[in-house]
């Protein structure tokens, strides 16, 4: 009885969340298929999906979201791996360092977006420094690779937010592997570089992939940062879905629901892959 008590306690909350999520998803799916009787749409059809995929703005938004999410996730993983290993090598308790690298995790994404904007905008900190030292003579000359339309601001914001998160997840796993295999590898003649690339990283493979999926999927479907730092020419996929949802003509609502349903299906696929990787990761705490 004691073993099932925790499940009994959480069942009401889980059931309510599952029920509401299921109702919302079914309603989303019906509207994406053109069934919206409140505005006179009573026939199921795939035309909204076909027209959405043919639409140039949708394809551009999908590419833009994949580009910013993938690049920010890759760079976050590289920097996170490096910083995690530095923390493992310098295995000393430092509460100030611990606070510094974990602080961005607790900051809201809107605050991160505000900081990035004040850093790289035309009147931001970097442009002011360049102006004061004489590199530029007008703030209008500062255009940080058109960070709005090229997604530079979005990528920087995600990197700042995600690198500490990657460190938080990988540090414990790397520390455990390092204690078990480092001395053995070095005693057998492996160099530190060989140990890092051929022993440590392969043993962390599933954890690395699952962490990448987590930050990639969030970056792909998050709304706040792309809405605040995105450009006017190409919108990120969640922003495009919101704009289509907020149009005054409710008969166009299925187009928004199509985009949302696509994001939901991709999320389900990533959750499935993540669960497979977590089960096969012997160094993950979940696998114990």
CATH number of the domain that residue 77 is part of:
1.10.3720.10
Is residue 38 situated within a structural domain?
no
Q: Which residues contact 222 (CB under 8 A, 6 or more apart)?
A: 109, 238
Closest to 41 (Cα-Cα) out of 216, 275, 199, 254: 254
Is residue 22 situated within a structural domain?
no
* 252: containing domain: 56-287
Q: Work out how many domains the chain is built from and give that number.
A: 1
| 159 has a pLDDT exceeding 70 | yes
Is residue 2 situated within a structural domain?
no
C-alpha distances in angstroms, 270 versus 217, 276, 280? 7, 10, 16
Is residue 267 situated within a structural domain?
yes
Q: In whole angstroms, give the CA distance from residue 92 to residue 77.
A: 23
pLDDT band at 193 (very low <50, low <70, confident <90, very high): confident
**pLDDT recorded at residue 91:** 67
**pLDDT recorded at residue 71:** 95
C-alpha distances in angstroms, 122 versus 113, 141, 150, 216? 15, 8, 15, 29
Is residue 236 situated within a structural domain?
yes
Average pLDDT over residues 212-228: 91
| 282 has a pLDDT exceeding 60 | no
Is residue 90 situated within a structural domain?
yes
Length of the chain: 288
Average pLDDT over residues 205-210: 88
Return the residue matching tokens 């850093």: 119
Is residue 60 situated within a structural domain?
yes
Is residue 18 situated within a structural domain?
no
- How high is the mean pLDDT of the chain? 85
pTM as predicted: 0.84
C-alpha distances in angstroms, 223 versus 5, 235, 241? 38, 10, 10
């Amino acid at each position: 009885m004691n073993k099932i008590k925790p499940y009994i306690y959480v069942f009401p909350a889980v059931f309510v969340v599952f029920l509401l999520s299921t109702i919302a998803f079914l309603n989303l799916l019906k509207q994406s298929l053109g069934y919206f009787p409140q505005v006179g749409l009573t026939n199921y059809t795939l035309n909204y999906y076909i027209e959405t995929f043919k639409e140039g703005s949708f394809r551009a938004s999908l590419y833009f979201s994949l580009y910013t999410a993938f690049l920010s996730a890759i760079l976050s993983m590289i920097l996170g791996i490096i910083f995690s290993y530095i923390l493992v090598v310098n295995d000393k308790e430092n509460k100030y360092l611990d606070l510094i690298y974990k602080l961005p995790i607790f900051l809201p994404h809107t605050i991160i977006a505000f900081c990035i904007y004040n850093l790289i905008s035309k009147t931001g900190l970097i442009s002011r420094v360049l102006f004061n030292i004489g590199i530029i003579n007008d703030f209008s000359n500062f255009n940080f690779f058109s960070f709005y339309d090229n997604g530079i601001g979005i990528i920087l914001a995600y990197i700042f937010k995600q690198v500490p998160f990657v460190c938080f997840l990988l540090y414990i796993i790397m520390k455990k592997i390092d204690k078990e295999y480092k001395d053995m590898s070095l005693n057998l003649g492996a160099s530190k570089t060989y140990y890092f690339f051929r022993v440590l990283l392969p043993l962390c493979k599933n954890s690395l992939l699952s962490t990448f999926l987590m930050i990639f999927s969030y970056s792909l479907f998050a709304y706040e940062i792309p809405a605040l730092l995105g450009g006017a020419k190409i919108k990120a996929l969640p922003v495009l879905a919101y704009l289509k949802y907020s149009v005054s003509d409710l008969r166009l609502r299925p187009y928004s629901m199509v985009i949302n349903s696509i994001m939901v299906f991709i999320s389900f696929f990533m959750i499935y892959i993540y669960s497979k990787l977590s089960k096969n990761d012997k160094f993950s705490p979940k696998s114990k």
